[in-house]
Structure 1
Amino acid sequence: MRAFASDNYSGVHPDIMDAIVEANKDHMISYGEDPVSDEAEKLFQNHFGEDAKIFFMTTGTATNTLILKHLTRSWNSVICTECAHITVDECGSSEAIAGVKLIHAQTVNGKLNVESLKPLLSGRLDVHQSQPAVVSITQSTELGTLYTLAEIKDICDYAHSKGLYVHMDGARITNAATALGVSFKEMTVDCGVDVLSFGGTKIGCMGAEAAVFINSELGKGFGFVRKQGMQLTSKMRFIGAQFKALLSNELWKKNAEWSNSLAAKLAAKAAEINGVEITRPVEANGVFAIIPKDIVATMQEKFPFYIWDEATGEVRWMTSWSTTEEDIDNFCAALKDALD
């Protein structure tokens, strides 16, 4: 099966699988005290600063949820977009597990900005209202768009001026950094981001995510939150091994460059087909389009993908590190045939 439903559909990159096998050769200390995890943490610190606190996790939902739980009290709220993964695709875990209210800001192309934050802070210090404590942004966004460095910095500066923290959901942070041509540090540390969820699974790992506390003071005590949240993996070396491989020899960048480039190719080829409308800017590895509803099911049988908006007929096509040029050609050929 060749799919465009999600970059989660792709398998594990061979270099990462080899790293897992290598980590399996001997006994090692459990719960992250092993040398492999230690090396992986140091690689993270090379990107995010030597004081950054790194906590390996297994799922993006757990990483986002436990970070927000750690940063908030029961009367707090988190500001995010109406399409944020934390509010649409995590089954209410922020509310159920973190116990925090989510407030939606107005957006353009999946991005919030300072002007959209201002109205949501007008009731701060009013005992009758939940108190915003965190602004959460996604990079790249759920709509496949990117925040510029200036946009991230503006949000961070404003949030900090109001006493709020900034969390970045980086499920596709590698695609974003590569597309912008910047380092992780430039896109996070230098802009003022306090903490981020670093996604490895979508870019070639088996199941590897990380909570990265750039503000090391904020990371104090999170180890207990991770354990209580059932995310302290006993054989942590297998997650460490994946990140060690991903962050070595710029594998993350190679994988992201490839998936981004194929998304651009897919959008360009599909746009040439009568009856296909590309609906959003293609800035990372996601393509959004409208195609006639009567061909959606037929196409999904051949190449699985998701319907994004039932009302408008908008669909989403995602490319991954393992997508091939032949996949693009075959998909577009099938799309053209279905429309003829």
Structure 2
Amino acid sequence: MASVPVSAAFASDNAAPAHPAALDALARANDGPAPSYGDDAVTAQAADALREAFDSPGADVLYAFTGTAANIIALASAVQPWHEILCSDVAHVLLDEAGGPVRLSGAQLTRLPSVDGLIAIDELDRRVARRGPVHHSQPRIVTITQSTENGRVWQAPDIKGFVDHAHDLGLLVHVDGSRVANAIAAQQVSPIDAVGDADIITVGGTKNGMLFGDAILVRRPEHFDGIAFVQKQIGHLASKHRYVAAQFLAFLTDDLWLQTAAHANAMARRLAAGLEERGFALASPVEANEVFVRLDPDAHDRLSRSYTVHQPDLDEPVWRLVCSWATTSEDVDGALAALR
């Protein structure tokens, strides 16, 4: 008897296919020769669109193929080896980037306690208060994730207060925005309100329907001197830059990037509601496109026969299901049916 194929529909938004608009954008960019290394018209247009979206006319814009590279470029250009990069205890830069930010910046990565990736202002105060003389590494930048690795959204007033307070403490602020579109769509606020007055932002594309590519919005270039050299050193200054930029231009046009994110969020809410109706407890509030649910071994066995799901913490019976632009209501209903 043939086994039933296991679907990756909820494994990650990285597992989703590329949106047709991304493929169309690549085809349009593939029309004849163009200047290389980002000196083409499409890259310039995409940069202008990103600046306009985030109300940051003076920002520099760079691109990377992956979110990890975008984070490393942003952080490594902000620090010296005697500096500290502050992050949450569940941060992607801490747990899922293979030590890349530390290796390539030379700076120390210091975790701060959080609630699902949301860091309290008091934690910043406590860490910065310990800043000592030459014997101690010096806090330089704090990185926060929007939406967080546990699917939480920094609400606009909270992220504004956090970023402003970090600045008052003399810290720079980086926003890891691999799912920033989901946070913007969830709150129905402007992009800049969803990131506060952050100094540098990585803007996710791959998780939101692009074939590849994340952007780096450098809102205060004076604090990130040499960032273009870091981008080049780690191999993310693409010779055919227009193929990354063209996708951003397509997604920023008519707010497609927010429409895809809003759909993913809606599917996550549908999934979460169905799980709770069936008596399953959510481990974190569902505020964007990720669902964390507690499953006993029997329930997990039933679900995993049909779907690939991820267990973030092997010590906890919590499983992550992620919705994407391509998730359908039939996909959601199928997963719920598998748990009956």
TM-score over 0.5 for the pair: yes
Q: Which letter maps to 2:41?
A: P
Residue 15 of structure 1 deviates from its aligned partner by 1.0
1:50-100: CA deviation from partner (whole Å, max 9, x where unpaired): 111100111111111121110000010111111000001001111111211
Contact 2:112 2:123 in 1 (8 A): yes
Q: Which letter maps to 2:168?
A: S
Q: In the alignment, what sits opposite 1:308? A: 312
Contact 2:77 2:225 in 1 (8 A): no
Residue 146 of structure 1 deviates from its aligned partner by 0.9
Q: In the alignment, what sits opposite 1:30? A: 36
Count residues in correspondence.
333
Residue 298 of structure 1 deviates from its aligned partner by 4.4
Q: Structure 1 residue runs of 4+, over 3 Å off?
A: none
Q: 91, 108, 113: which is aligned to 2:98?
A: 91
Q: In the alignment, what sits opposite 2:283? A: 279
SS of aligned partner of 1:197 = strand
Contact 1:292 1:313 in 2 (8 A): yes
Q: In the alignment, what sits opposite 1:194? A: 199
Alpha-carbon separation, structure 2, partners of 1:159 and 1:320: 32
Contact 2:12 2:323 in 1 (8 A): yes
Q: 19, 24, 32: which is aligned to 1:18?
A: 24
Q: Which letter maps to 2:181?
A: T
Q: How does 1:94-243 map to 2 (within 5 A)?
A: 94-188=101-195, 191-243=196-248
Q: In the alignment, what sits opposite 2:324? A: 320
SS of aligned partner of 2:154 = coil
1:163-214: CA deviation from partner (whole Å, max 9, x where unpaired): 11000000000000010111112223xx321001110000000111011111
Q: Which letter maps to 1:258?
A: H
Q: Which letter maps to 2:134?
A: V
Answer with 224-233 or 300-309: which moved more: 300-309
Alpha-carbon separation, structure 2, partners of 1:96 and 1:301: 39
TM-score (norm 2): 0.95
TM-score (norm 1): 0.95
SS of aligned partner of 1:212 = strand
SS of aligned partner of 2:77 = helix
Contact 1:262 1:319 in 2 (8 A): yes
Alpha-carbon separation, structure 2, partners of 1:324 and 1:182: 25
Q: In the alignment, what sits opposite 1:331? A: 335
Residue 2 of structure 1 deviates from its aligned partner by 4.3
Q: Which runs of 5+ in 2 are unaligned?
A: 1-6
Superposed CA RMSD: 1.3
Contact 2:302 2:339 in 1 (8 A): no
Q: Which letter maps to 1:5?
A: A
Change (3 A) 1:219 1:131: closer
Alpha-carbon separation, structure 2, partners of 1:255 and 1:106: 32
